[in-house]
Amino acid sequence: MTSREFHPGKPWLDTDGRLIEAHGGGILYHEGIYYWYGENKDAENSEAHKQSGIDRVDVIGVSCYSSKDLYHWNNEGTVLHANEEPGHDLHPSHVLERPKVLYNAWTKQFVMWMHVDHGDYQFARVGLAVSERPTGPFRYVRSFRPGGYDSRDMTVYQDDDGTAYLICSTNMNSKVVTFPLTGDYLDVQNASAEHFVMPNEHMSRESPAVFKYHQTYYMVTSGCTGWDANPAEYAVAPSVMGPWTVVGNPCIGEHADRTYYSQSTFVIPVAGKEHAFIFMADRWNRYHLRESAYVWLPVEFSQNGAITIQWRDVWDLSIFE
């Protein structure tokens, strides 16, 4: 795709003409440039899934792409690499998912948070890596269980005042918890005390994506059906720390009950536009994970602040004008 249009679910090529490999991703906007970080799954599915039963690609690392317009993406390469050292968190036999990057204006560091796990998803930790540049290389720091909680699908959110939060699925995905990060973004604060539980209508929620509009925080999540699509759900809150109120499925129309065959990963605030947000999701291809496509759709607001996400075969940013 080289035009100034989005084609949700269609193969999306970078400026070199190669398929974009940035799954479970998130976007950082920094000094006029968007950076898209995501899982590099550019290999055949591994045979190892036969033991765990979960289709997977060996860990390669985290890709980064840059763009000024959200349509055209330059490949900045793999900015965090797998590590062959036996037992390393990022060993190819392990799991590295849902990387998200924040810029810390105080330390001037780019801080990457990610889900680090073993092939059976029982390690359940967050991992951290840092870099002085948005395009890496990122140095892996450590993994841990925030507040002692198991942590699987996760995201981070940076508020206008610079406070950042970790939002993760915990307690075997039956809860979503949020933690304020420390000032350097390298840990969670008050680990065991400051958490909140999102009251889930359907209990298990994952793949959280958080954004703020008119002083209300929105969290879109998916249900827990592995690589298979399920209905999205969103909740609203006056603070990232809650209390969160479940509203319902933001998707409408045909295939809304499968999130248009995709799973949330992030919501992108379009720079310079107060009411412009893009729902960013993965259309997983479980047998050929590297070919999993991206579904980007505009978030639409009604007067009472309710959101809808509807399918569009093709659209562009003029929708927000």
243/253 Cα distance (integer angstroms): 29
Query: Which lies closer to ligand GAL via its Cβ, residue 178 or residue 207?
Result: 207
Contact present, 134 and 101 (Cβ < 8 Å): yes
Is 137 a binder of ligand GAL (CB under 6 A)? no
Which backbone phi and psi does 147 adopt, to 5 degrees?
60, 20
In the set 59, 64, 176, 224, which binds ligand GAL (CB under 6 A)?
A: 224
How far apart are CB 185 and ligand GAL at their closest, in Å? 22
In the set 76, 89, 97, 150, which binds ligand GAL (CB under 6 A)?
A: 97
Q: Choose the binding region for ligand GAL from 101-109, 222-230, 241-249, 270-278 (rule: CB under 6 A).
A: 222-230
- The CA-based dihedral angle spanning residues 309, 10, 60, 34, taken in that order and rounded to the nearest 10 degrees: -60
Site string for ligand GAL, 144-183 (x = CB under 6 A): ---------x------------------------------
Query: Which lies closer to ligand GAL via its Cβ, residue 58 or residue 153?
Result: 153
Query: Which lies closer to ligand GAL via its Cβ, residue 111 or residue 224?
Result: 224
How far apart are CB 59 and ligand GAL at their closest, in Å? 13
Query: Which lies closer to ligand GAL via its Cβ, residue 121 or residue 218?
Result: 121
Query: Which lies closer to ligand GAL via its Cβ, residue 81 or residue 98?
Result: 98
Is 89 a binder of ligand GAL (CB under 6 A)? no
Query: Which lies closer to ligand GAL via its Cβ, residue 58 or residue 206?
Result: 206
17/149 Cα distance (integer angstroms): 42
In the set 19, 54, 256, 276, which binds ligand GAL (CB under 6 A)?
A: 54
Contact present, 103 and 134 (Cβ < 8 Å): yes
111/247 Cα distance (integer angstroms): 32
Residue nearest to ligand GAL (CB): 226
227/225 Cα distance (integer angstroms): 6
Query: Which lies closer to ligand GAL via its Cβ, residue 24 or residue 298?
Result: 24
Distances (CA, A) of 286 to 45, 62, 174, 208: 8, 19, 23, 20
**Residues near 164 by beta carbon (within 8 Å), at least 6 away in sequence:** 102, 104, 156, 157, 158, 180, 181, 185
313 backbone φψ class: left, alpha, beta (φ>0; ψ -120 to 50): alpha
Query: Which lies closer to ligand GAL via its Cβ, residue 170 or residue 207?
Result: 207
Q: Which two tokens stand for residue 8?
A: 């949700």
Which backbone phi and psi does 50 adopt, to 5 degrees?
-65, -30
Query: How would DSSP label each residue in 49-108?
Result: HHHHS-------EEEEEEESSSS--EEEEEEEE---STT-TT-TTSEEEEEEEEEETTTT
How far apart are CB 231 and ligand GAL at their closest, in Å? 14
Is 226 a binder of ligand GAL (CB under 6 A)? yes
Binding site for ligand GAL (CB under 6 A): 24, 54, 97-98, 153, 206-207, 224, 226-227, 263
